Amino acid sequence: MRSKAIKNLSMAYAVVDIETNGAAPGAGTVTELAVCITDGQRMLGRSEWLIRPDAAISPFVQRLTGIRPEDVEDAPSFRELAPEIAARLEGHVFVAHNAAFDHTYLQREFEACGEGYKGLWKEGRLCTVQLARKVWPGQASYSLGNICAALGIAVEHRHRAGGDAEAALNLLHRATELKGATFLESMVKRRAVLLPAGIQADELPEHPGVYYFLDAKGRAIYIGKAINLRKRIVSHFSRNGKGGEWLQRVAEIRTEPAGNELAALLLEYLAILKHKPEYNVQGRFPLQLYHLFIYSNRAGQPKLAIARGKKPEQVLQTFRSRDAARDAYLKLLETHAICPVFNHQSRQRCANPDCYCKETAETRDALHADRMAVLVQTATLRDVGRFWVSGTGRTPGEKSVLLMEDEQPLAFGFAPEDADPTAEEIPDYLQSLPDAANLRALVEPFLIHKKTSNLSSS
Ligand SMILES: [Zn+2]
């Protein structure tokens, strides 16, 4: 019994109807507004306002609603009423017949009144047209007048805000009687962000880093990384309420700064290894890998290609996505002036009139082989020895350090800006990394560009 009572209290609905001056949604277009508050079963309050629009009321709308210009010329403007209206709507699910219509108008009105009203929509929205379609399928019409007539719901003052809001309210109550409060709750669509209690979106940091979703017992149930932590975290909770049931278990969110994207990736990797969070998709590491590799065709010409899955013999680089492999593939061909058409053995014509593929077969093959040899030399980290890649630190005066031995990531951490990570075997401030193919694939895209420029070798 007790839990039922709490449940009823947990959802409160504001059933809304507006009349407009007939203009497109915008500031100063609403002429009348009614709000009925309900717990889904009983009306708990009712408010109605006449509002002075910014522009004339169209003759059609005057005929439809009976609201004449003289009725509203002395009424307060929406801006003047906004605090009072907001106080009624706040903390309630927004309900209307054709909810998107009323919602769009009101949202525009409130937007014009400033930033402070954004929280008004965070409880979500329920459309009584959609509700009626679900509860009473097969009706000829779901317009407010027709569906109410079909169900025997009497409507007084049709096409006035108060009358229509009450009609929608009665429809809602009727649906609850038939289907129950839980069904009603399931019809609520949430677009707005619903972060766990006590967490404010604007208090989340916007720097790169790792985030931990903790349950009530403080266990990490999900770990992720992001370039912009706030954006990423908020996106989990704002997928129209469809982010997944499990998000409701998130009681606390912790973030850890990383300074840069590569550092965020590595911190995430290490954190997932350590905590094995329940909702990190198993098999994310390892995952499908794409390899850039060299093979010889039947004519003995070396070719650069992309292979998925198992590692082929002559691998240059490994990537976590086809797109990343494809980007690197094209970049390498371009950098080394290798004809993509000839390399790909495509039947297509090469569009470059000066390309070496137009030479005699002998010259062409020799040039191709030479350029490919240089590509192999520079595109692999084999025999490079020990080097490190640094990035922006978490604080000024700090840098992130990834220590590599050839293709193998050795250790990672943060160090003072002037530290030399190759001065000792593995410095204390670095954490050893496991020897894993998926980890190599993780860091590889960050190394290609660094290899010639920002590389410090011992
Ligand atoms: Zn060519």
Q: What is the pLDDT of residues 123-142, one digit of tens each?
A: 889 999 999 999 999 999 99
Residue ranges of the chain that CATH labels 3.40.1440.10:
201-275
* Å from CA of 291 to ligand 1 middle: 24
Are 196 and 211 contacting, i.e. CB atoms less than 8 angstroms apart?
Answer: no
Closest-CA residue to 29 (of 58, 4, 60, 66): 58
- What's the start-to-end Cα distance of the chain, in Å? 72
Question: Would you state the structure tokens that stand for residue 427, as one six-digit string?
Answer: 């410095």
Report CA(448)–ligand 1 centroid distance (Å).
25
- Interior angle at CA 10, CA 9 and CA 13, nearest 5: 85
Distance 343 CA to ligand 1 centre (A): 9
- What does the alpha-carbon distance between residue 417 and residue 392 come to, in Å, rounded to a whole number? 9
Task: Tell me: pLDDT of 3 over 50.
Answer: no
Cα angle for residues 158, 160, 162 (degrees, 5° grid): 100
**Looking at residue 407, what is its pLDDT?**
81
Q: Is the pLDDT of residue 165 over 90?
A: yes
* 2-186: CATH architecture: 2-Layer Sandwich (3.30)
Task: Give the lowest-confidence range in 95-99, 107-111, 410-414.
Answer: 107-111
* Domain 201-275: homologous superfamily in CATH: GIY-YIG endonuclease (3.40.1440.10)
Q: Compute the distance from residue 383 Cα to the ligand 1 centre, in Å.
A: 31
Report the separation in Å between the CA atom of 317 and the middle of ligand 1, taken as the mean of its atom positions.
24
Q: How confident is the model at residue 146 (pLDDT cuts 50, 70, 90)?
A: very high
* Residue 303 CA, ligand 1 centroid: distance in Å: 14
Q: How far is the CA of 341 from the centre of ligand 1 (A)?
A: 6
User: Residue range 312-316: average pLDDT?
Assistant: 75
Q: For residue 87, how far is its CA from the centre of ligand 1 (angstroms)?
A: 69
Residue 63 confidence (pLDDT): 85
% of the chain beyond a pLDDT of 90: 50
Rounded to the nearest angstrom, the distance between the alpha carbon of 366 and the centre of ligand 1 is 14
Pairing of strands 290-296, 315-319: antiparallel
pLDDT at res. 311: 65
Residue ranges, CATH 3.30.420.10, the chain: 2-186
Distance 342 CA to ligand 1 centre (A): 6
Q: Is 386 exposed, middle or buried (0-12, 13-18, 19+ CB in 10 A)?
A: middle
- Express each pLDDT in 11-20 by its tens digit: 899 999 999 9
Confidence of residue 287 (pLDDT cuts 50, 70, 90): low
Cα of 351 vs centre of ligand 1, distance in Å, is 7
Contact 458, 387 (CB under 8 A): yes
Instruction: Give the C-alpha separation, 145 to 407, whole Å.
Output: 71
CA of 378 from ligand 1 middle (Å) equals: 22
Q: How far is CA 359 from CA 87, 346, 349, 350, 363, in A?
A: 79, 17, 14, 12, 6
CA of 354 to the centre of ligand 1 (A): 8
Ligand 1 mean position to 306 CA, how many Å?
20
Find the 289 Cα to ligand 1 centroid distance in Å: 29
457 falls in which pLDDT band (50, 70, 90)?
A: very low
pLDDT digits (tens, 9 = 90+) for 236-283: 887 544 556 788 889 999 999 999 999 999 999 999 989 999 888 754
Strands of 51-117 (E only): list them: 93-96
Ligand 1 ion local residues (Cβ < 5 A) = 339, 350, 355, 357
- 377 CA → ligand 1 middle, Å: 22
Strand order of the sheet with strand 220-226?
220-226, 209-214, 252-257
* pLDDT for 85 beyond 90: yes
Task: Say if residue 64's pLDDT is above 80.
Answer: yes
Q: How far apart are CA 272 and CA 287, in angstroms?
A: 14
Look at residue 156 in the predicted model and tell me its pLDDT: 85
Query: Which regions of 128-215 does DSSP assign to beta strands (E)?
Result: 209-214
Instruction: Write down the pTM of the prediction.
Output: 0.52
Question: If you average pLDDT over each of 64-73, 282-291, 297-306, which comes out highest?
Answer: 297-306
What is d(CA 157, CA 305) in angstroms, rounded to the nearest whole number? 73
- What does the alpha-carbon distance between residue 450 and residue 432 come to, in Å, rounded to a whole number? 21
Token code pair at residue 155: 């409507």
**20-29, 355-364, 392-401: the lowest-pLDDT one:** 20-29
